[in-house]
Amino acid sequence: MRFALCTVAIIWALFVLADGVDPGNFKTCEQSSFCRRSRKVQSSGSKYALIPGTLNTYADSLTADLVNKENHHQFAFKLEALEGSTFRLQIDEKQPLRPRYRVEHALKGQPRAGSIRVQRETDGEIVITSEKNKAVIHGDPFRIDFYENDVLVVSVNAKNWLYFEHLRQKAQEQTPEPEGNENQQEQDAAVETPKAADAIDDPGAWEENFKSHHDSKPYGPEAVALDFSFPAAEILFGIPEHADSFVLKSTSGTDPYRLYNLDVFEYVVDSKMALYGAVPVIYGHGQQHTAGVYWQNAAETWVDIQTSETNVVSSLVNFVSGSRNTPPPAAHFMSESGIVDAFILLGPKPMDTFKQYAALTGTHELPQLFSLAYHQSRWNYNDERDVTSVSAKFDEFNIPMDTMWLDIEYTDGKRYFTWDKFKFPQPLTMIKNLTELGRHLVVIIDPHIKRDNGYFFHQECTERGYYVKTRDGNDYEGWCWPGAASYPDFFNPVVRDYYASQYALDKFQTVTADVMLWNDMNEPSVFNGPEITAPKDLVHYGNWEHRDVHNLYGHMHLMGSFAGLLQRDPNQRPFILTRSHFAGSQRYAAIWTGDNLADWSHLQHSIKMCLTEAVAGFSFCGADVGGFFGNPDSELLERWYQTGIFLPFFRAHAHIDTKRREPWLFPERTRQVIQNAVLKRYSYLPLWYTAFYELELTGEPVIRPLLTHYPQDKEAFAVDNQLLVQDRLLVRPVMQQGVSKVDVYFPTIDDKKNGDWWYDVDTYQRQERSGYVSVPVDDNKIPVWQRGGSIVPKKERQRRASTLMLHDPYTLIICLDRQGKAAGSLYLDDEKSYAYRQGKRIHVKYEFGNGQLVNHFVGKPKYKTNAWIERIVIAGLEKVPSSASVTVNGVSQQLEVLQHDLSVVVRKPGVKMDVDFAIKLNYV
């Protein structure tokens, strides 16, 4: 092993214990001054009120002044109606000493305004309506109740935990100036003596230390916090990224959930600790109503969760009596700086809220098909020969593989945009060898820039002042993979442009337009920084403190990268994988759950975490198959592949200290189990691709928790070891060691315990019963069911890469419901370019009923393809048809029908994808 690596390892060792995360490296709420301060309000409450006579109403909004009755500081309040049952609530200081940060770039654009009508304005209460929704604003104490169809679904500040620290001058007699503080403004200050009611006496208000790190806090206390109650809900979920259950747990007696993008070494599961991403959207779900809140704030944020652990009896009583005797679930968002900017998503159904959130922050755009196929990664594939031989081995063992990945060691000393000339003397040849087989390459490009005067990128960033600055205006210097490193200030549009231009093929000449991107370490990770990230008093473009924008840093990095790839080849859809993410980052990149562990509990959390991410906008989510740290045994690796194929992003990856784990290095049986799993993934690619198109089209997540489609089934709320792929597949992978059966929950569709029919995708055996069912499994079994009533498109021919399947024929799997009906959709295009946005696409709905399958095109089918329908499988027919006939343009032709155990196959309909047809089953 290399000496440099040793050094890095030692540096790591300085921060961490050998065994799992060292929680001591990360703050608790008690160690964070603003969290202490904001949380304190939970016992005392606050006193805010609207100032009578300040109300102004407009077509889509209203404004008023708000006052803190204790210190008389005034705030500007604005409530805006948006299209699609959404309200936006903003509170800022009326006259702040300096502007307070408002999040930019998270929303996909200016939200579309709705309209309001003031229904009633009495002293102390204003009632407005917007379509079928209603907001009741109470003046004193300040509170807003949001009604969806006259049902109270969200209540803002019902607990009076609104807490807004106005900017203030530092009192002179307070703690001595921190060393090196030459802020003129502060020395001129202190003319005002704070009123007693206004005093913030927390010792961390004006400067704060954590471990050996000092935070100078030149602007003092500036926290904002607000509570949201969900009276119609029973559970809360959302606010990724945490390695925790799908349903949020009460934080009573624990730390709040923390949203602060951090590089956590060997993170632990079942934890509310912050991880790499922060998406401050939360949902409250009950049997009848679902609502959400998007708290748009990029500063460090803690979220307290109040839920009452209700049992079945008490909830039944509540249901019968129509009242509840426990307080509704509530969330208390506490952010270190910025303003109150909250979007209230009124549902009413889970899918409505997901779509309302997607309407604000966008979706991942339709990815290239290859990125939905199998990715093979490792830290590191050592050299060109290594890459070539691993690729060849996949062919030798007939395991499909689309993309090889290169981690940091391919670079010349961690100088991004360069190659190690010894290990990779001919990158273009290596890339060509891959792309000629239909494969792709992804290389890592991290945001830390090696401070080396001989490195062009560092030189230019230094000369042009592109780096993030310290308080004193110097380039900030941290420590990361390259050693001493600085960090481009991606908040500056000029820096983003410059960064994007680096990807131009005449600039980055050692890659091609088929080489895609991995942005890691972009929290940002700083090995010697506080909590392994950047100090909060760094200064960004626009003179904003890092404190204000921390959770957006990775997002801004992605914007630069995405623009770079798009400019490099405007007609190819970029693929980027990112670790750090914020609300809206899904528009630019896929995510993975970071540096997990080869452990069964981490395998289980891959589903929980991706489900939460999916409802928070990040459908394109996966976990390192096999686990990043540690060495999985055969069984764990097999099960991990089987699980990984049913998450949207499917990549095997491993730490440099682990043993090699390419499938052929395991016993033959394991290799075959893995091969079967990967082949299964490839066979379902048409479904995944369709689901991603429909995500872009509608905002509906690709993978979904059961409650999405079974909202009234209380038993299903907390199920997070199963997932739905759209509404078509129910997946319950085996994620425990040494089991021969698993318990699967089949959700109910009504209160009479009726459920959908579900067909085992391997045998077509039908589950007609809802509730828990114990299902036997062997090592090859991946328990997956197709919903009766759905049609799933597949491609059952094997290829070595997904790109080579473009012209292969389709198989339609039709599983019938109780009425003998089924419906489904298929999307296809060139799988690579943006031509689909010019209509070069085929989006088709299939419907089966009364023994006949027909198709309907959504829009005109303008994409030209050689693909055709090779086979139709029908499960759930009462009788076996003797034959079938296909009719196209009035011309009919007889087809053979083959009987299998529990299904029939219509042999070779042979219809092309862009024609209208009908296939009728014949019973003689």
Overall size of the chain counted in residues:
924
Q: Is 10 in the site for another protein (CB under 8 A)?
A: yes
Question: Rounded to the nearest whole angstrom, what is the least distance from the CB of residue 414 to another protein in the complex?
Answer: 16
CA dist., res. 299 & res. 544, Å (int):
11
- Cis preceding-peptide flag for 663 (omega within 30 of 0): no
- Distance, C-alpha 322 to centroid of its chain: 35
Tokens of 17: 């214990």
* Chosen residue from 30, 270, 633, 657 binding another protein by CB under 8 A: 657
Sole binder of another protein in the list 6, 504, 739, 858 (CB under 8 A): 6
**Taking CB under 8 A as the rule, does residue 494 contact another protein?**
no
State the minimum distance, in angstroms, from the CB of residue 808 to another protein: 7
Nearer to another protein, 37 or 423 (CB): 423
Site string for another protein, 12-51 (x = CB under 8 A): -xx---x---------------------------------
Among candidate residues 537, 595, 713, 720, the one labeled active-site is 595
Based on the shown chain and the rule CB under 8 A, indicate whether residue 907 belongs to the binding site for another protein.
yes
Q: Is 914 in the site for another protein (CB under 8 A)?
A: yes
Rank residues 10 and 320 by Cβ distance to another protein and give the closer one. Answer: 10
Residue 112, CA distances (Å) to 60, 180, 557, 586 in order: 10, 47, 27, 20
Give 427 or 909: the residue with its C-beta nearer to another protein.
909
Contact between 763 and 753 (Cβ < 8 Å): no
C-beta of 922: minimal distance to another protein in Å? 16
Task: Classify each residue of 612-651 as buried b or exposed e, where b means 16 or more C-beta atoms within 10 Å of its C-beta.
Answer: bbbbbbbbbbbbbbbbbbbbbebebbbbbbbbbbbbbbbb
Pick the binder of another protein from 127, 656, 718, 835 (CB under 8 A): 656
* Three-class SS state of 454: coil
Is 897 among the residues that bind another protein (CB under 8 A)? Answer: no
The reply to whether 118 sits near another protein by the rule CB under 8 A is no
Q: Which is nearer to another protein, 659 or 752 (CB)?
A: 659
Among 443, 813, 911, 919, binds another protein (CB under 8 A): 911
Q: Is 202 in the site for another protein (CB under 8 A)?
A: no
Q: Cβ of residue 915: shortest distance to another protein, in angstroms?
A: 3
Handedness of CA 699, 700, 701, 707 (dihedral sign): positive
Give the residue from 615, 587, 695 showing the smallest Cα distance to 354: 615
Confirm if 590 and 621 have CB atoms less than 8 A apart.
Answer: yes
Using CB under 8 A as the binding rule, the residues of this chain from 421 to 450 that contact another protein are: 422, 436-438
Question: Cα-flanking dihedrals φ and ψ of residue 247, to 5°?
Answer: -80, 130
Check binding of 901 to another protein (CB under 8 A): no
Minimum distance, C-beta of residue 889 to another protein, in the bound complex (Å): 6
Q: Does 798 bind another protein (CB under 8 A)?
A: yes
Out of 660, 669, 837, 860, the residue judged to bind another protein by CB under 8 A: 660
Binding-site residue total for another protein (CB under 8 A)? 51
- Tell me 256's DSSP state: P
Of 524, 549, 546, 526, give the one whose Cα is nearest residue 537: 546
Listed ranges 201-209, 558-566, 756-764, 910-918: which one lies at the site for another protein (CB under 8 A): 910-918
Q: Left, alpha or beta for 478 (phi > 0: left; psi -120 to 50: alpha)?
A: beta
Among 107, 888, 902, 918, the residue binding another protein under the rule CB under 8 A is 888
Count Cβ atoms within 10 A of the Cβ of residue 463 and give its class: 0-12 exposed, 13-18 middle, 19 or more buried. exposed
Exposure b/e, 311-332, CB count within 10 A at least 16 = b: eeeebeeeeeeeebeeebbbbb
Distance (Å) of CA 380 to CA 386, 479, 653: 9, 21, 9
By beta-carbon proximity to another protein, the closer residue of 574 and 809 is: 809
Reduce the DSSP state of residue 174 to 3 states and report it: coil
Which whole-number Å values give the CA distances from 403 to 287, 369, 518, 625, 655, in the listed order? 43, 11, 12, 14, 18
Q: Which is nearer to another protein, 261 or 418 (CB)?
A: 418
The reply to whether 3 sits near another protein by the rule CB under 8 A is yes
- DSSP assignment, residue 197? G
Q: What are phi and psi of 807, to 5 degrees?
A: -95, 5
**From 215, 255, 352, 520, the catalytic residue:** 520
For the CB of residue 404, give the shortest distance to another protein in the complex, in Å.
15
If the CB atoms of residues 158 and 805 are measured against another protein, the closer one turns out to be 805
Shortest spacing between CB 381 and another protein, in angstroms: 9
Piece of the chain touching another protein by CB under 8 A; list 24-32, 213-221, 792-800, 875-883? 792-800
* 212 lines the binding site for another protein (CB under 8 A): no
Pick 13 or 316: Cβ nearer another protein: 13
Measured from the CB atom, the residue of 420 and 779 that comes closer to another protein is 420
Q: Considering only residues 96, 111, 141, 910, which one is a binding residue for another protein as defined by CB under 8 A?
A: 910
Bond preceding residue 522 cis, omega within 30 of 0:
no
Q: How far is the CB of 300 from another protein (least distance, A)?
A: 31
| Minimum CB–partner distance for residue 5 and another protein (Å) | 9
Instruction: Give me the least distance between CB of 163 and another protein, in Å please.
Output: 44
- Whole-number Å distance between alpha carbons of 877 and 872: 13
Please report how close the Cβ of residue 6 comes to another protein at its closest, in angstroms: 4
Pairing of strands 576-578, 590-592: parallel
CB of 671 to another protein, least distance (A): 15
Cα–Cα dist 107/104, whole Å: 7
Q: Which string of DSSP letters, residue by residue, matches 585-609?
A: GGGT-EEE--S-BSSHHHHHHHHHH
Stretch of 130-138, 361-369, 507-515, 804-812 contacting another protein, by CB under 8 A: 804-812
Minimum CB distance to another protein smaller for 359 or for 913 = 913
Q: Which range in 116-124, 571-579, 772-780, 889-897 contacts another protein by CB under 8 A?
A: 889-897
Tokens linked to 4: 């440099």
Among 77-85, 547-555, 612-620, 658-666, the segment contacting another protein (CB under 8 A):
658-666
Which CB sits closer to another protein, 571 or 893? 893
Candidates 92-100, 263-271, 446-454, 908-916; binding stretch for another protein (CB under 8 A): 908-916
Torsional sign, CA 18, 21, 27, 28:
negative
Residue 800 in the binding site for another protein (CB under 8 A): yes
Q: How many CA atoms lie within 13 A of 500 on its CB side?
A: 21
- Neighbouring residues of 478: CB distance < 8 A, sequence distance ≥ 6: 448, 484, 485, 486, 487, 524, 526, 527, 528, 529, 534
3 state SS for 621-684: EECEECCCECCCCHHHHHHHHHHHCCCCCEEECCCCCCCCCCHHHCCHHHHHHHHHHHHHHHHC
Distance CA 337, CA 335 (A): 6
Q: Which of 319, 834, 857, 917 binds another protein (CB under 8 A)?
A: 917
Q: CA 348, 352, 357: angle at the middle one, nearest 5?
A: 120
Which one of 249, 393, 799, 832 is in contact with another protein (CB under 8 A)?
Answer: 799
Instruction: Select the residue interacting with another protein from 125, 386, 412, 599 (CB under 8 A).
Output: 386
Nearer to another protein, 270 or 395 (CB): 395
Phi, psi of 208 (to 5 degrees): -145, 140
CA 534 – CA 525 distance, rounded (Å)? 7
- Reply yes or no on whether 756 is catalytic: no
123 is catalytic: no
Q: Which residues are catalytic?
A: 520, 595
Q: Which residues bind another protein (CB under 8 A)?
A: 1-3, 6-7, 9-10, 13-14, 18, 382-383, 385-386, 398, 422, 436-438, 656-660, 679, 796-800, 804, 808-809, 866, 868, 870-871, 886, 888-889, 891, 893, 907-912, 914-915, 917
